[in-house]
Structure 1
Amino acid sequence: MTIDHIDLARVDLNLLVALDALLAERSVTRAASRIGIGQSAMSSALARLRVLFGDELMTRSPEGMRPTPRALALAEPVRALLRQVQVLVRRDETFDPRTVVRTFTISLPDSTEVLLGPRLLAYLRREAPGISLLLRSVDRDHILQEIDADQVDLAIGLSFRGQTHHKQRLLYRDSYVCLFNAALLGLAPPISLDDYLRFPHVLTSLRETAHGVVDDALAKLGRRRTLAVTSPRFLAVPFLVRSAPVLTTMHARLAHLFAETLGLTVSPAPVALDDVAVTMLWHASYDDDPAHRWLRDLLRRLAGEAPASS
């Protein structure tokens, strides 16, 4: 398409910056603060945006400013365009992790934080002291909206059901094993299916439902297990297992780490369970961002150095 320079010259790029902030914050006041201008200036920008696009874009509601369908349709193209402009103007900048100052917001489960967090923090303090992390629990029901609103730079977890602008990359694969206190159960690995079902289990469920992949696998065999505790917190599970005659089935990397730290025992799971793929999720507009790309590559490298499943 031929560029109409005269028509394009009437568009103030700052208006698109304002629109992006308005769509992210759903508030004139917060959007103004986000880009460092006054509330009246943001209100003026919104008025000009309405003229430019021939649409109200943002309407008032009891919950705050609500984007119109036209505004929602603009959100992704505007965000992608601004990211491309940012990459373009920074093209000649050399990324140096030793001098860059930046905060990354990462949503992840506590299991991944335990596995990779210590290595990541140690590396950053040694090689990139200007980079800080804001770690948050991953909310699978809202993570895509948080990524789109630029509230989260990177999410880590099991596969996400995103759209084409939600990029994913494998971080690592893991298998399932059993974890238990051998002294309390009187068992030694490898344990049998009968022994596996003779004791109650601890289940980790982020959705806090008393059903997991183990229950699906057992149902295929016509068997059931007894659940003693269901918890959304991976970090609580090994302490529960250490204190009572129960067992749990969890990702192998985490289980081996807990076993070594707390004197617990690991055994292969006596029921067939598919391996899991832990992935990274980010917005496509960050694909060519040097710092973001560096962080993704670093996480993959550190994941390769984490305790391997066996």
Structure 2
Amino acid sequence: MTIDHIDLARIDLNLLVALDALLSERSVTRAAARTGVGQSAMSSSLARLRALFGDELLTRAPEGMRPTPRALALAEPVRSMLRQVQFLVRRDEAFDPRIVERTFTISLPDSTEVLLGPTLLAYLRAEAPGISLLLRTIDRAHILQEIDADRVDLAIDLSFRGQLHHKQSLLYRDSYVCLFNAALVGLTPPISLEDYLRFPHVLTSLRETAHGVVDDALAKIGRSRTLAVTSPRFLAVPFLVRKAPVLTTMHARLAHFFADALGLTVSPAPVPLEDVAMSMLWHASYDDDPAHRWLRTLLRRLASDPASGRAGD
């Protein structure tokens, strides 16, 4: 479509910055603070936006301000456009991780934070001291909305069902192994299926249900196991295993980490289990952002070889 420059020149494009802030914060006061203007100025911008789009955009509700269907339809195109504008005006700036100052918000499971966090932090402090991290527990039910609202820069998890404006990339693959305290269960690896089923198990379930991939695999061969504890916290499980005659099945990288740290024993799982893939998810508008691309590259390198911390494009 041909751009009508005369018609477009009549529109104050700064109103779209205000609209993005209003839809993100759903509060005139917070949107004003986010954009560095006064509350009255933001209220005036909202009034002008309503006139421009012929819609209320935000209406009062008990929980604050609620976007109209029209506003929800505008949110993603407006945010994507603003990110592209920001990228265009910054693209010629050379990115140097040694001097840049930026905070990245990353949502991830605690298990991945344990595996990658220490090495990542050590690298940043040595090579990119101006870059800081805000790490958050991933909220699987709302992560796509958080990515779209620019509250999360990057998400790491087992799988995502994103949309066209979401980008994904494999971070690493992992397998399943068993973890136990050999002194308490009297087993040595590799353990048999009968030994595996003879002892009760500890299950990690983020859905807080007493059923996991192991139970599905056992059901296929007509077997089942006894669960002693179901916990939503990956990091608690090795400490439970350390003190009781139980077994757990977890991702191999994490299991080996805790085996070394707590004196536990690792054995191959005696039941067929598919490998898992940990992936990164981000908004497509950050695809060519130099700092964001640098961070993704660094994470891939650290995940493939924790001893290597050299990042690049």
Regarding TM over 0.5, the answer is yes
Cα distance in 1 for partners of 2:263, 2:306 equals 19
SS of corresponding position for 2:288: coil
User: Within the alignment, does 1:186 sit opposite 2:224 as a pair?
Assistant: no
4+ long deviations beyond 2 Å:
none
Q: Distance in 2 between matches of 1:166 and 1:24?
A: 18
Counterpart amino acid of residue 3 in structure 1: I
Aligned AA (1:199): F
1:112 CA displacement: 0.2
| Structure 1 equivalent of residue 293 of structure 2 | 293
User: Structure 2 length normalisation: TM-score?
Assistant: 0.97
Q: Which residue of 2 aligns with 1:140?
A: 140
Q: SS state of the match for residue 170, structure 1?
A: strand
1:223 matched to which residue of 2?
223
Q: How far did 1:162 drift? A: 1.5
Alignment of 1:31-70 (within 5 A): 31-70=31-70
How far has the Cα of 1:12 moved from its partner?
1.5
In the alignment, structure 2 segments of 5+ residues that lack a partner are 308-313
Cα distance, 1:145 vs. partner?
1.0
Task: Return the alpha-carbon distance in structure 2 between the equivalents of residues 36 and 63 of structure 1.
Answer: 24
Tell me how far apart the structure 1 counterparts of residues 284 and 30 of structure 2 sit (CA, whole Å). 25
RMSD: 0.9
The equivalent of 2:234 in structure 1 is 234
Amino acid at match of 2:88: L
In 1, Cα distance between the equivalents of 2:58 and 2:10? 22
Q: Deviation at 1:302?
A: 0.4
Contact 1:173 1:276 in 2 (8 A): yes
Q: Where does residue 90 of structure 2 map in the other structure?
A: 90
Show the 5 A alignment for 1:132-281.
132-281=132-281
How many Å separate the matches in 1 of 2:13 and 2:302?
Answer: 39
- State the shift of 1:171 in Å: 0.4
Return the alpha-carbon distance in structure 2 between the equivalents of residues 286 and 31 of structure 1.
22
Conservation of the 8 A alpha-carbon contact between 1:253 and 1:306: no
Secondary structure in structure 1 of the residue aligned to 2:156: strand
| Rounded Cα–Cα distance in structure 2 between residues aligned with 1:291 and 1:39 | 32
1:306 offset after TM fit, Å?
3.8
Q: Counterpart of 1:189 in 2: which secondary structure?
A: coil
Deviation string, structure 1 residues 222-269 (Cα, Å, up to 9, x no partner)? 111111111111111111111100010000011011111111111000
Secondary structure, aligned partner of 1:294: helix
Q: Residue 124 of structure 1: CA displacement? A: 0.2
Q: What secondary structure, in the 3-state scheme, does the structure 1 residue paired with 2:273 have?
A: coil
Amino acid at match of 2:214: V
Q: Is the 8 A contact 1:171 1:300 kept in 2?
A: yes
Q: TM-score, normalised by structure 1?
A: 0.98
Runs (5+) with no aligned partner, structure 1: none
What is the CA–CA distance in structure 1 between the aligned matches of 2:187 and 2:208, rounded to whole Å?
29
Q: CA shift at 1:290, angstroms?
A: 0.8
**What is the one-letter code of the residue matched to 1:73?**
A
User: Which SS does the other structure have where 1:250 is aligned?
Assistant: strand
Structure 2 CA distance, aligned partners of 1:164 and 1:31? 27
Residue of structure 1 equivalent to 2:26: 26
1:12, 1:159 → 2: CA distance? Answer: 41
Cα separation, 2, equivalents of 1:229 and 1:28: 47
Letter in 1 for 2:106: I
Alpha-carbon shift at residue 272 of structure 1 (Å): 0.5
Q: Distance in 2 between matches of 1:8 and 1:159?
A: 41
Q: Which amino acid aligns with 2:181?
A: N
Task: Tell me the residue number matched to 2:310.
Answer: none
Q: Give the Å deviation of 1:166.
A: 1.5
Matches of 2:269 and 2:179 in 1, distance apart? 9
Distance in 2, Cα, partners of 1:23 & 1:76: 10
How many Å separate the matches in 2 of 1:30 and 1:91? Answer: 29
